[in-house]
Structures are given as C-alpha cells and as structure tokens.
A = this chain, B = another copy of it.
Amino acid sequence: MREAGADVGVDPWGNLFGIVPGSTAALAPLAAGSHLDTVPNGGIFDGALGVVAAIEAAAALREVRTPLRHPLLLLAFAEEEGTSFGVGCLGSLGAAGRAPALEALTDRAGRSAADAIRAFDPGVPRRTMPRAFAAYLELHIEQGPVLERRGAPLAAVDAIVGIARMSFVFRGEANHAGTTPMDGRRDALWGAADLVAAVREMARGTGGRAVGTVGQCTVSPGATNVIPGRADVTVELRSADGGFLDSLCGEAVAAARACAGRFGLEVEHRNRWTEPPVPLDARVHEEITGAARDLGWPIVSMASWAGHDAKILAAIAPAGMIFVPSAGGISHSPLERTAWEDAARGADVLCRALLRLDSWDGA
C-alpha cells in the first residue's frame, strides 16, 4: 500500500487500510479491496486477490501519473470468514458501524476478539477509517462453477443472495428394531429422510433461482438396533429474490409437516438465521460492465451465492463486485485456483471501473 502511495493505518476492528490522496478537495473516497483472512486449509485467492488488485490499481494509476479526483481508499478487511470468532464479515461490520460487542466474542482458546485486535500489531498507526465512501468496489473469485460453465471470464454481480437457515426436529418413538412391526413404527429418521428429498426436489424445481441444502443430520439414540426416536436436520435456502426465499421457507416447513404426518411423527422448526438478499448498486454495476466493454472483454451478470464484505458495505455506499472464474468451482481448499490471466483481467476491470466512477460528481 505504501509503495502505491497510500498513507496506511489499522482501524479499531483490525482492518488495514491505505488512503491515496485525490486531486479534488472534499470528495469522499472511492474504496476498493476485500479481506485478507482465509478459512483453515483454504486457498490463496479467496479475499487476497481483491486486496492485491486494489493495491495494484493504485500502483498502476501512480505509475501512469493519473491521480483520481477522489481519494482512493484501499481496504484489507479482517475476519470475513468468521473462522476465529464465529461472526462472518466482522471487519467490514466494524467499518460499517455495525460491529457486535468485541469483548463478548471469543475464539476456541477463550481469547476475546477485543484482546486479539489489541495484540495485532502490523506496525502501522491505529487510526479511524473514513466511513463515507463515494463507492465500494470488490474483486473476488466466484467460488462456484457458473463462469467456467458459461465460458465467461468476468461477471458483474447484481445481488448477493439472501440466506435462510432453519432447524427441524422430528420426534417419533425409539423402539426395538426387531420386535416392533413395520406398521407400528414411528421412525423419526423416516420423516427426516423424506425432508432431505423434498428440499432437494423443491430447490431443483426453481430453475436456478434458489439452492437448498441439508448439511446436518443426526439421529438419536443412534444405535444399529434401535428405531430412531428423534432426528435433527438443518435446512439452508438461498435466493437473490427475498420474496421467493420467504415462500420457499414456507414450503420447506409445509414439506416437513407433511413428512411428519405421513409417519405419525411430530416436527418442530426454528428459524435460526435469516439474511435478506442485498441488491448491489445498479449504477456501479453499469460502470463495471462499461469498464469490461472498454477493454474488449465479455462480461456477464450474475448473483453472488456466497456472502462478501460488499454485502455489508452496500448498506453505507453504492457497492459493486467483479467476479473472476474459479477452476472447477473449487474454493475453501488448497486446490482453489484462478488462472493468472483471469485474475489480471479482473484487476484491469477494477482499475478501469475506478476511473469511470471517478468521473461521478460528488456521489
């Protein structure tokens, strides 16, 4: 960041940032970046690519002596993955003024997030980051197979999907796996298994508008020779359409009741987490698309099926995202890979989009 001409600091949430001055006084900064943390055993692209690309854009603009009118805020957010303290986008939540209480968040060793941040010393001054941005741009790997399948090198993201997480408990009657006739059973796993199939068929039937996953399934008592008396499953649904997501949640609950009713079971559900979809800024989306066009590269429009810092930043600034392909759709793995030419194209579009955004008045 310093080599790119930025004045560097670390904010109270452990986010690193650098400010490159603009040529026009009193304009709010254009911001660009992503996060630096990774999941355990993750790859080298998720997050870091967007940070490096933003710095590279600043360095390139400096090299060609083309200062922006706006200050350029380079961002390297902390703790986007939520691996250490269980809260995703912790750094960007802080930057957006929505951080949870840091003393109450602890890692596995029992250390609080507040203590971890106090101990974090990147050798730069602790400072407050500007909170009013003219726009926020984030380059990120797709983390899915859509671009690769469509043969497209780039996407402008139009929305970040909403996520609904529910848990279901099916209760039947634990009983002897031998002496209980088939027609006298109230097997909780029968209901849960049918719900797995129902969620699959429901999500498949949306024609790509939603995905649905049962990621956890536990049965109790869990012995080979005992009929399960209880089965717990989680259902996660995602869609970029908030109303549609709500209706799918209703369908999942209705399906669970039908599965339970079929076998004389009881079922309870709990909504554990709901995040509405976040549409990204249409004008920023247009500048990203225009930047790709300027450079002669095809670009498609798609939703992001994963959460990103841009989802948080969208609440305080016009925000946009650029996706580049993930080979095989693989992510959160050492096998995560994006071709360097794809990474470079993404960085070029980021830089070009910053130039286009810089022509905005005030914003």
A interface, CB within 8 angstroms of B: 142-146, 149, 161, 163, 165, 175-184, 187, 189-190, 192-194, 196-197, 200, 203-204, 206, 208, 211-219, 222-228, 231, 234, 236, 238, 272, 305-307, 329-332
Asked whether A176 and B331 contact (CB < 8 A) given A183-B204, A193-B197, A215-B228, the answer is yes
Distance, CA A188 to CA B180, complexed state (A): 29
Check B211–A215 contact: CB distance below 8 A. no
* Residues of chain B within 8 A of A208, CB atoms compared: 181-182
Distance, CA A8 to CA B289, complexed state (A): 93
* Residues of chain B within 8 A of A180, CB atoms compared: 144-145, 211, 305, 329
Asked whether A217 and B217 contact (CB < 8 A) given A145-B180, A176-B144, the answer is yes
| 21 residue pairs A–B, Cβ–Cβ below 8 Å | A142-B179, A143-B179, A144-B181, A145-B179, A145-B180, A145-B181, A145-B184, A175-B329, A176-B305, A177-B213, A178-B211, A179-B305, A179-B306, A179-B329, A180-B211, A182-B204, A190-B196, A190-B197, A215-B219, A216-B222, A217-B219
Tell which of B204, B217, B227, B331 touches A215, judged by Cβ atoms closer than 8 Å: B227
A148 to chain B, nearest CB (A): 10
Distance, CA A205 to CA B344, complexed state (A): 61
Tell which of B217, B226, B331 touches A189, judged by Cβ atoms closer than 8 Å: B217
* Residues of chain B within 8 A of A203, CB atoms compared: 182
Tell which of B175, B184, B196, B306 touches A178, judged by Cβ atoms closer than 8 Å: B306
Check A224–B234 contact: CB distance below 8 A. yes
* Residues of chain B within 8 A of A177, CB atoms compared: 211, 213, 215, 236, 238
Check B224–A236 contact: CB distance below 8 A. yes
Tell which of B143, B182, B183, B224 touches A176, judged by Cβ atoms closer than 8 Å: B143
* Residues of chain B within 8 A of A215, CB atoms compared: 177, 219, 222-228
A88 to chain B, nearest CB (A): 10
Check B211–A181 contact: CB distance below 8 A. yes
* Residues of chain B within 8 A of A183, CB atoms compared: 204
Which single residue of chain B is at the shortest CB-CB distance from A305? Answer: B178
Which single residue of chain B is at the shortest CB-CB distance from A215? Answer: B224
Asked whether A190 and B200 contact (CB < 8 A) given A222-B215, A225-B236, the answer is yes
* Residues of chain B within 8 A of A189, CB atoms compared: 196, 214, 217
Check A179–B144 contact: CB distance below 8 A. yes
Distance, CA A203 to CA B183, complexed state (A): 10
* Residues of chain B within 8 A of A216, CB atoms compared: 219, 222-224
**A215, A222, A223: residue with the most chain B Cβ atoms closer than 10 Å:** A215
* Residues of chain B within 8 A of A217, CB atoms compared: 189, 193, 217-219, 228, 231
Distance, CA A192 to CA B219, complexed state (A): 13
